[in-house]
Amino acid sequence: MWNFFILLVFCCCLGAMSRANLEQSKLQCACFNATAPESCTNNKITCDVEAGKVGSCFVVWSSDNVTGENRVSLQGCFINESCNNTECVSDGPTRNNVNYCCCRGNMCNSKFKYVPLPPSPEELEEVVIPAPPSDKPSENLVIVIVACCAVVIVLVSLGGVFFYRNRKTAMFNEVPTNEPDISSSSLTLNSPRPIHLIEQKARGRFGAVWRAQFKSDEVAVKIFPLQDKDSWQSEQEIFKLPRMKHLNILEYIGVEKHSETNEFWLITAYHSLGSLCDYLKAHTVSWSELCKIAESMARGLTHLHEEFPATKADGLKPAVAHRDFKSKNVLLKADLTACIADFGLALIFEPGKPCGETHGQVGTRRYMAPEVLEGAINFTRDAFLRIDVYACGLVLWELVSRCTEHDGAVPDYTLPFETELGIHPSVEEMQENVVTKKMRPRIPDHWRSHSGLNAICDTMEECWDHDAEARLSSSCVMERISQHTRYPTTQLFIESNTDTLIKNRTVSM
């Protein structure tokens, strides 16, 4: 009798598994594709699942903040994706109100919902959605179900290794998955959602910058949309060059790809003071603060520009031109030292190789050198580095304009040429004034009442010289500013001979 009962249970299990396999082989899911509606017939799709593989349904949708209405952008099925939910539930946290969920079972994605996680960034574990309640079965049926489950668990465990190696086969070209691809110097990603976005801090040409949390570390996440993937890859390429780690270059942490939202993340150190531009809008600076910011900024630019030969420990570090140097791309650390960021337009100069095909007129208009505005760039390494130095002179002007050490009043912060040309000058306006009229930001006489500021004014004028070959190098800018940091009472004496000679003499106090 007992043997007969065991045989009966085994047959029931085989029958149940056969029915499940039959159902799974013809898994049906709700179907919708906003970009290609014709791909779905009657809002339903049959996912043909091969023997030994697993099929699941998914939904990608967004929610309207005002009306609360859900708008589906993609529904369908995919093969061999690990998804054990019986209901289609997104546990967030969401960004831009975009949600994604998956589930197992015929048409299980026809209904979906968002159940938010608690806001704490430490709680990153995956939420397990319980199965819906069912009517209480009879006692004998419970025994059969338990026995079947035990057999199924054993079989699934034995086949798990084999199934794990199979690659995903999608029913659509766009498969909503989260595929981390991160190379990290300090963070170890061991959670499905390791980075928690907290607050959007800025939005620029290539995407938004967020303050984010990874466990106990605060990081910055720059999010690139799909159309700016090339800039995301360019920034990685710069950060990954040999010997790019420097106190005055923004610290690189890693990258992530997010296929479900077609976004690409660049993860770096976070600096709460933000950009130099934003800081100067809200703060004035003393002479010592100006020197600290200017010197560290020049050190970062010098490191970027310099080429370091290969050693036994490190490869060759080529010279790099930033090509969009401005106060928005200089970040301030807590101690007011600067670091350079945003390398989406940067150009690498490999020794012995030409610059290649590159567009010359790139960057921010008001910071463009005359030769860039005129379209008369000499496509050599030194020519591109001098373009950065021109922009550096404008940033020095911004710094001095907010310094409290001169005899005059400190005006509200303005961008270079903002007083003369307004907040949004056109390329034609910049060409007429910077190239034709050789206009530069005005240097008031009272700025020169302080010997150190007077020297900085001379430096900025040599940085933005109309003749590119007459401009200072970034290393020379760094040395000049360092000199005044070490000797704050330096005064300038001008002696005339055949040529004008400038000497530095320390005044005894």
The predicted pLDDT at position 116 comes to 66
The CA R_g of the chain, rounded to the nearest whole Å, is 31
Q: Which residues contact 372 (CB under 8 A, 6 or more apart)?
A: 360, 361, 362, 363, 387
Contact in structure between 482 and 295 (CB atoms under 8 Å)? yes
Highest mean pLDDT among 48-57, 414-423, 496-505: 414-423
The DSSP symbol for 395 reads: H
The predicted pLDDT at position 232 comes to 93
Contact in structure between 46 and 90 (CB atoms under 8 Å)? no
Judged against a pLDDT cut of 80, whether residue 109 lies above it is answered with: yes
Catalytic residue among 48, 324, 465, 499: 324
| Domains of the chain (ranges, CATH numbers) | 2-170 (2.10.60.10), 178-269 (3.30.200.20), 276-506 (1.10.510.10)
Cα dihedral value 481, 483, 486, 490, nearest 10: -110
pLDDT band at 173 (very low <50, low <70, confident <90, very high): very low
Q: Tens of pLDDT along 243-274? A: 999 999 999 999 999 888 889 999 999 999 99
Place of tokens 């055949």: 498
More confident residue, 325 or 377: 325
Give the rounded distance of the alpha carbon of 310 from its chain centre: 29
Structure tokens at 340: 């350079």
Q: What's the whole-number average pLDDT of the chain? A: 78
Residue 342 known to be catalytic: no
Q: Which residues contact 502 (CB under 8 A, 6 or more apart)?
A: 458, 492, 494
The predicted pLDDT at position 476 comes to 96
Judged against a pLDDT cut of 80, whether residue 64 lies above it is answered with: no
Q: Tell me the C-alpha distance between 280 and 412, whole Å.
A: 9
The predicted pLDDT at position 8 comes to 52
Q: Tens of pLDDT along 220-243? A: 999 999 989 989 999 999 999 999
Q: Tell me the C-alpha distance between 264 and 275, whole Å.
A: 22
Number of Cβ atoms within 10 Å of the Cβ of 500: 8
Q: Tens of pLDDT along 282-321? A: 999 999 999 999 999 999 999 999 999 988 888 999 999 9
pLDDT band at 215 (very low <50, low <70, confident <90, very high): confident
β-strand partners of 494: 502
More confident residue, 172 or 347: 347
The predicted pLDDT at position 357 comes to 56
Q: Tell me the C-alpha distance between 280 and 109, whole Å.
A: 52
Judged against a pLDDT cut of 60, whether residue 124 lies above it is answered with: no
Q: Tens of pLDDT along 433-475? A: 999 999 999 999 999 999 999 999 999 999 999 999 999 999 9
More confident residue, 349 or 175: 349
| pTM of model > 0.85 | no
